[in-house]
Structure 1
Amino acid sequence: MKTGIYISALGKAIDRNSVERYAERFKNEMNFNTNGLQYETKTEKINYTKNKESLVVSIYEKSSPDDIVYKFYDFKYHDILTEKFNSRSLLFKSFWLLVLVLKKFPLILKRTFLPKNYSRSIESLYVFSIFLILSLSLVLMFPATLEAATDFFTKDNIKLAELKNFFYPGDIPYVSFRGIEIGCINIDFHKISKSIVLFTSLLVLIIPNANTVITELATNFVCANDYLQHGSQKQLIQGNLEHLVDYITENETDCEIHFHSYSFGTILALDYAYPYGTKPSKNALTYCKSIITIGTPYEFVNSYYSRFYENRQIQPGDSLQWMNIYSTADALGTNFRKDKNAGEAEFGVLGASNKPQNINYEVSPVKGIFDFMMLYSIRVHEMYWDETSEGQSCLGLIYNEMKNRNLI
């Protein structure tokens, strides 16, 4: 049985990126490219360990429901990656997002002027600046709210006044320099507080589901950074992926496994194909035949986490058939070239000889400063398929390439 393991992007857009939608799009391409045959899907839920489950979507011929031609298993890693951070408050998440952005900002600035094989460093600086504004405004919302709250109380309230003065001492003197008293400045913290409250309130009103969006942003960014920088939850995630592979090999006859991965999911798939610090498993060497990476942020990771792909085991990755779908307009997607142009891949994972088969998929180019300011090159990362399964997608190119390679 030819079987796909689907590893989606990191985030809460579960419906748009679900294995059911992906399988539905794949099934549609099968219908478009075959004459006289119609295919349908059916979904079931399995437990590959005692506590971990997977959705399994089978594609079968409509005239013969028992004749399954392809299966997709969903690998759910989101809760594993974020479980240590999800229970935190919005203030805590905003604070750690601010700390992380401040910590990364010097490297972001460095890569702006000294890029390392990553040609979208300007976009990264712009996005990180937005992260900085968002996190800073939310963290400063606490003392700003305190300042606003004290206006509702009398000046005789000593405790509140002392607390207010702790955050806002009023005149902040300059220190003397070489015996010269420079003087002091008077900062109107009252106006600054109102400005912060106003800005953050407008932010919440303008951005749809702002509380959820900002919370998800902080959670995903911090947890992804911890995975890439410190290997946080990596052993648990890769262990569960190995359990899923093992379940498939034991329950599917004549098993052949293909990884279908998107965005952050491609990092997990490449981690499995090119493991660090451990030998590849027998299952990986025996049953895994291909890997499909869609919008993989390989160059972004390699630029800002330069040691992540060092010292990798090249098996089984070098024996896999590797297809890489990318868009030249996507600031995160990698074309595995030394330029921004479409064309054949020029390199692969560090230290490995296997280069992907590049498959270019475009929706619309980035045009001018307005598209840049509106983060179009970031939003393109979500345009490898339409929100509905009926729309066009990159899966037409994937299906044709898999068919040519006898993978389906």
Structure 2
Amino acid sequence: MKVGIYISGLGQSFINESVEKYAERLKNEISFHTNGIQYEIKSEKISYAPDRFSTVVSICEKNKQNKLIYKFYDFKYHEILTEKFNNYSLIRKNLWLFLLVIRKFPIIIKRLFKSESYNHPFQTFYIFLIFIIIASAVLLMLPATFTVINSSYEKGTIGEMVTLLKSKTGIQDIPLISKMQIKNLSRIIVSVTALLLLIIPNANVLITNLATEFICANDYMQYGVQKQLLQGNLELLVDYISENEKNCKIHFHTYSFGSILALDYIYPYGNKVSANAEVYCEAIITIGTPFEFINSYYPQFYLNRTTSFGDTVLWLNIYSIADALATNFRNDSKIGDAQFGIERSSNKPVNINYEVVTLNKKSVVDFLMLYSVKVHGMYWDNKAEGLSCLGLLYKEMKNKSLI
């Protein structure tokens, strides 16, 4: 029995993307390639651990005693990964984003001149610049912040704090920013923010989602925040499937950040691969995986991986050249066969190119409007009946006997 584990992108939780939609798209592709046969999907919810649930979607053939064609389980990780960040106040969220971008800025600047294998360093620089402007604007636009600042200046509190800081640290050249300088800085930041919100369609949603993804993904990759909990839950789900699906072979269907979780499971850091993975996992499908982005800005993340099992897994990779985050696993930005995979691994993904639009890399308008980032969400339409990258995926899965 072929079973898929669907792991969506982090941002997909904000637009109500679901395993039902993904299964519906695959069902449609199966229907397009078979004449005179009708298919349907059936859904149920199961609990694979205390307080942990998965939606199970079966694609069945009608009129043949509901013959099962393929089955999906989804892995819901969004709440686990983002629960700490979502509990932060607005000020704390923006302060965290501001400090995080400041910490990352040296390597962002470095990549402008030495991009490694990542082909969109200037777009990344622009996104990070937007992050820092937005975070600064929110912090400075809050009326309460201005009230505190004005009150502090009137009472001399800020001056007293600087004097105390000098006495405690021994540093005498700590600058004191004047009240007028803070006002001027806030006017500039607010103006730039307003301009960005005007020129970028749905900028508030796009930037908020990007910021949330970046902060939570950063904590996972940089500090291992929630990593053990996430990987433990994924192992529990695989164990549940192996115990409840007869003679199963498991395929990971992953999009964006979801592919990072699956690759972590198949190529674990410094650990032995689980027995369940070795016995039951047959393939991994990565769609729009930000592998090169991570390699460029988190160069230590994929080092020291256990590759013995991962080299035996069939890896299908769907990418778009226009997508600023997707990886083609090549040393150039061209369409073609993959040239590398995980470091020290002999397994190279089977590349599947999927393009919806052609972007002009020299277009300033496309650059400023973040079109190359928006393409990251164009592997399918929000409605399941639209065409999608799953048309190409189904053909490859059929050729590889995965379905």
Q: 1:396 to 1:142 in 2, by over 3 A?
A: same
Match of 1:325 among 296, 299, 318: 318
Match of 2:392 among 386, 397, 400: 397
The reply on whether 1:351 has 2:344 as its aligned counterpart is: yes
Q: Structure 2 counterpart of 1:121, which letter?
A: P
CA offset digits 1:162-203 (Å, max 9, x no partner): 279769x9xxxxxxxxxxxxxx99946545545555666777
The reply on whether 1:111 has 2:111 as its aligned counterpart is: yes
- Deviation of residue 316 (structure 1)? 2.1
CA offset digits 1:80-101 (Å, max 9, x no partner): 1112221110100000000000
Q: 2: CA distance between counterparts of 1:265 and 1:166?
A: 49
Q: Structure 2 counterpart of 1:233, which letter?
A: Q
Q: 2: CA distance between counterparts of 1:166 and 1:365?
A: 56
Contact 1:145 1:197 in 2 (8 A): no
- Deviation of residue 140 (structure 1)? 2.0
Match of 1:386 among 353, 368, 381: 381
The reply on whether 1:220 has 2:213 as its aligned counterpart is: yes
- Deviation of residue 67 (structure 1)? 1.5
2:98 aligned residue? 98
Q: 1:30 to 1:139 in 2, by over 3 A?
A: same
- Pick the structure with more helix per residue: 2
Q: How does 1:3-402 map to 2 (within 5 A)?
A: 3-11=3-11, 13-64=13-64, 66-142=66-142, 145-146=145-146, 161-162=154-155, 187=180, 189-190=182-183, 192-193=185-186, 216-367=209-360, 368-402=363-397
The percentage of aligned residue pairs carrying the same residue is 57
Contact 1:25 1:393 in 2 (8 A): yes
Q: 1: CA distance between counterparts of 2:376 and 2:400?
A: 26
Q: 1:310 to 1:214 in 2, by over 3 A?
A: same
- Deviation of residue 144 (structure 1)? 7.9
SS in 2 for 1:68: strand
User: TM-score scaled to structure 1, two decimals?
Assistant: 0.87
Q: 1:32 to 1:360 in 2, by over 3 A?
A: same
Q: 1:67 to 1:186 in 2, by over 3 A?
A: closer
Q: 1:72 to 1:14 in 2, by over 3 A?
A: farther
Q: 1:325 to 1:94 in 2, by over 3 A?
A: same
SS in 2 for 1:45: strand
CA offset digits 1:291-344 (Å, max 9, x no partner): 100001000001110011111111321111110000111111000000000001
For this pair of structures, how many residues does the alignment match?
386
Q: 1:199 to 1:163 in 2, by over 3 A?
A: farther
Q: 2: CA distance between counterparts of 1:333 and 1:62?
A: 37
CA offset digits 1:186-239 (Å, max 9, x no partner): 946545545555666777788888776665444322111011111111111011
Q: 2: CA distance between counterparts of 1:364 and 1:309?
A: 31
Can you give the 5+ residue segments of structure 2 that lack an aligned partner in the other structure? 163-176
User: TM-score scaled to structure 2, two decimals?
Assistant: 0.88
Contact 2:153 2:159 in 1 (8 A): no
Q: 1:405 to 1:98 in 2, by over 3 A?
A: same
SS in 1 for 2:386: coil
Contact 1:386 1:393 in 2 (8 A): yes
SS in 2 for 1:48: strand
Q: Structure 1 counterpart of 2:366, which letter?
A: D
SS in 2 for 1:23: helix
Q: Structure 2 counterpart of 1:284, which letter?
A: A
Can you give the 5+ residue segments of structure 1 that lack an aligned partner in the other structure? 151-157, 170-183
